[in-house]
Amino acid sequence: MKQAERSIKSIVEETQYLSLSMLIDDNIQKLCKQYTLKNSTMDSAKRQLYVSMQDAVNSKSYIDSISVSYNSEVLFQYGNKVEKEDGMFEKQAMEIGGRAFWTRAYRLQYRENTADPHYVISYIRAFMDVSRFNQPIGLQRISINEKELSQTYASLAPDDQSEAFLVGPDGCILSALNETLIGQDLRAAFPGFEQVLNDDNGYFGTKVNRVGVLVIYQDVEGTDWKLVQAVPRRTLLNSSGSLFLFMLLALLLLIIFSVIFSAIQNHTIIHPIYRLSKELSQVKDGNFDIQVNSNCRDEIGCLTEAFEEMLKRTKELINRVYLSRIQEKESAFKALEAQINPHFLYNVLDSIHWAAIKQKDWEVSDRIEALSELFRHVLNKGDSITTMRAEVNYLQNYLFLQKNKFAGKICVCIDVEEELMECQTLKLILQPLVENAIQHGLAEKDGTGNISVWIERKDGSLFLHVEDDGCGADEDAVRSMIYAEQETGGAFALKNIHDRVRMRYGEPYGLTFESLEQVGTVVTVRIPELREGADENETDDCG
C-alpha cells in the first residue's frame, strides 16, 4: 500500500507543478488578455503554448487533457478535446481566486470521434491577471484519466472479491478498480467503513455481504484523499499459504546452497588449513620428516608451498649444525687422544710394572696394571662404543686405584646381570657418575657412604643407575645446568654424558637427575639395548 500511495502522490505533485508552470506562462497570460481585449492575434500564442505543453506533458500518460477557457469558451486545449468547457466548476474557481482544487470524478463531453466517454478527475484553477492580481482572466483545467490513476493501486486487489479505491474527504469515491463504485458515497456502498473517514490511517475488520474482510486505509500525502483496500480474510489466508510455501522453498534452496558452499569451503579452505595446522604441530614436536602436498593454486597453496620450502631449508640447517657439532666434539676428543702417545705410555707403564715385580712390590705392580687398563679403555682404539663388561671393568679399576684414599669411608656395590655384559654402551658413562657421587655427594658426609650401581632392562632400553646416600643437591638447579643449550660451568660431567648420549642415540635417550638434600641422589642414564655389531636403529636382546 505504501508503494501505491507514493505513486498517487507522484501524480498529484507532477500535476500541481504543471499547473503552477502554466500559471506563470507568458503565452497563457497573452492568450487570455488578447481574448478579453477581443484581439485577433491569438494564433501565435497558441502555437508557442502547444510546443511548451508537448515538452511538459511528454511521457505523462495519465494526463487526459489540458484546457484553458473563459466563460465556458475554450481558448486552448491539449490532449482529448471538448466542444465546449463545462462551466460547473468555473464559479467555484472564480470565487476562491487563484487557489486550485481537485474535483470529483466525472465524464467530459468530448468532440465526436475523439475519445470515448470516461471518468476523469480534474485539477481546476482560475488564471489571474499578473498586473491586476484580483482580476480573473481565464480558467485552467488539467484532467487525470481515472483508469490510469486506478492502475497505480491495482495490485491492492489480488482477486475479484477484493476492492481498492480512492475516497474524498466527504466520503465520495473518486476512483476505483470497480467502475460502478465511482461517485458513490462510501457509507452507502460499504456500511461499516465509516472509520476510514475519521482516522488518517489504520485497519479494521468487518463484513461485506456476510464475508469477513480486512480493511486497510492510508492518507495520500499532499491531498485530502484516502487510499482504501478491502481484502477477504480467506484471500489473505490463501496468500499466507502461498507465502509460506514460497518461504519454505526459499529456505530449502538456502540450505542446499549452504551445504554446497560449506562443502566447497571445506575442500578449498578449511581442510587445507587444518592439514597445514596439523603438520605445523608435528614440526613443533620436532618432526621435520613430513610431506606437505597441496594441489591448490590460491593463497593457501602458496602458503603451503612456502611452508614446505621453509621446512626443507630448516631441516638442512639443523642437519648441518647437528653434524658440525658432532664433528667438532669428535675432533676435540681425537685431538685429546692424539696428545697421548699410546705406545710410549704403555712402554713406560710396562717398565714400571716389571720394576715393581722385581722389587716384589706387588701393590705398586697391581696399581700400575690397573692404570694401564684405564688408559687402554679410554683410548679404545679410537672407538667411542664399548661393551658393558669393559665399562664395568673400567669402573672397578678406577675404584681399585681410589681404595687407599677412601678406605673404609665409601662402600660401592655393583649389580649387573651377566646377560647384559655384552650389550653395547658409550664408553666413560659409569665411572664419571660414580666419581661425581664421591666428590659431590659423599666427600663431606660423616661416616660411611654407600654407592649402588645397577642396570635394568625395560621396553628395549637399558637404564644405568648410580645412587648414593650423600648430602644431596638442589635438584632444579642441577637439572637447569644439565639441560641448558649452552654450558654454564656447573654439572659439567653430567651434562657431558647427557649430550653425548642424546647426540648418539637421539630422543628419548639421555640422563635424568633426582636428588633430595640430606637424603641422597639417583642419576639414571637411558640408552638403547643393542648387541655388539647391531644397528643402532634397531634394538635387540643382548643376552
pLDDT one-digit tens code per residue, 235-285? 766 665 566 677 888 888 998 988 898 888 777 777 777 777 777 777 777
- Binning pLDDT at 50, 70 and 90, where does residue 181 land? very high
Task: Give the model's pLDDT for residue 135.
Answer: 78
- Cis geometry, peptide bond prior to residue 342 (ω within 30 degrees of 0): no
State how beta strands 63-70 and 510-516 pair.
unpaired
Q: Look at residues 502, 390, 524, 349 and name the one whose alpha carbon lies nearest to residue 453.
A: 524
Percent of the chain whose predicted confidence (pLDDT) is above 90: 26
Percent of the chain whose predicted confidence (pLDDT) is above 70: 80
Summarize the confidence of residues 53-63 as an average pLDDT.
82
Q: Look at residues 227, 242, 66 and name the one whose alpha carbon lies nearest to residue 139.
A: 66
- Binning pLDDT at 50, 70 and 90, where does residue 311 land? confident
Q: Look at residues 528, 531, 527, 501 and name the one whose alpha carbon lies nearest to residue 423.
A: 531
Residue 351 has pLDDT above 90, yes or no: no
Among the ranges given (4-13, 75-84, 415-424), the one the predictor scored with the smallest mean pLDDT: 75-84
Task: Give the model's pLDDT for residue 122.
Answer: 93
Residue 340 has pLDDT above 60, yes or no: no
% helix, strand, coil for the chain, step of 5: 50, 25, 30
Q: Are 152 and 4 in contact (CB under 8 A)?
A: yes
Task: Give the model's pLDDT for residue 381.
Answer: 62
Amino acid type, 402 = Q
- Binning pLDDT at 50, 70 and 90, where does residue 339 land? very low
Mean pLDDT of the chain: 81
Cα-based distances in Å from 239 to 154, 232, 234, 236: 16, 11, 8, 5
Q: For the segment 491-509, what is each residue's pLDDT rounded down to a tens digit? A: 888 988 998 899 889 888 9
Burial class (CB in 10 A: 0-12, 13-18, 19+), 415: exposed
Instruction: Write out the three cell numbers for 355.
Output: 720394576
Instruction: Write out the three cell numbers for 2.
Output: 505504501
Summarize the confidence of residues 462-469 as an average pLDDT.
94
Residues 6+ apart with CB under 8 A from 58: none
More confident residue, 52 or 15: 15
Burial class (CB in 10 A: 0-12, 13-18, 19+), 142: buried
DSSP strand E in 439-501: where? 449-458, 461-468
Task: Give the model's pLDDT for residue 11.
Answer: 92
Cα–Cα distance, 461 to 10 (Å, whole number): 94
Task: Give the model's pLDDT for residue 379.
Answer: 64
Summarize the confidence of residues 465-473 as an average pLDDT.
92
| Helices of type H across 266-386 | 271-284, 299-338, 342-358, 362-379
Residue 537 has pLDDT above 60, yes or no: no
Residue 106 has pLDDT above 80, yes or no: yes
- Helix/strand/coil for 199: coil
Residue 349 has pLDDT above 80, yes or no: no
Q: Are 451 and 466 in contact (CB under 8 A)?
A: yes
Cα–Cα distance, 481 to 479 (Å, whole number): 5
Cα–Cα distance, 288 to 317 (Å, whole number): 12
More confident residue, 49 or 179: 179
Cα-based distances in Å from 226 to 170, 376, 475: 11, 119, 94
Summarize the confidence of residues 208-215 as an average pLDDT.
84
Residue 13 has pLDDT above 60, yes or no: yes
pTM for the whole structure: 0.47
Task: Give the model's pLDDT for residue 77.
Answer: 86
Backbone φ, ψ for residue 54 (5° rounding) = -60, -45
79 beta partners: 65
Cα–Cα distance, 499 to 509 (Å, whole number): 10
Cα–Cα distance, 6 to 152 (Å, whole number): 9
Q: Look at residues 99, 81, 25 and name the one whose alpha carbon lies nearest to residue 56.
A: 25
Summarize the confidence of residues 462-484 as an average pLDDT.
91
Alpha-carbon torsion angle 281, 285, 287, 293, nearest 10: 0
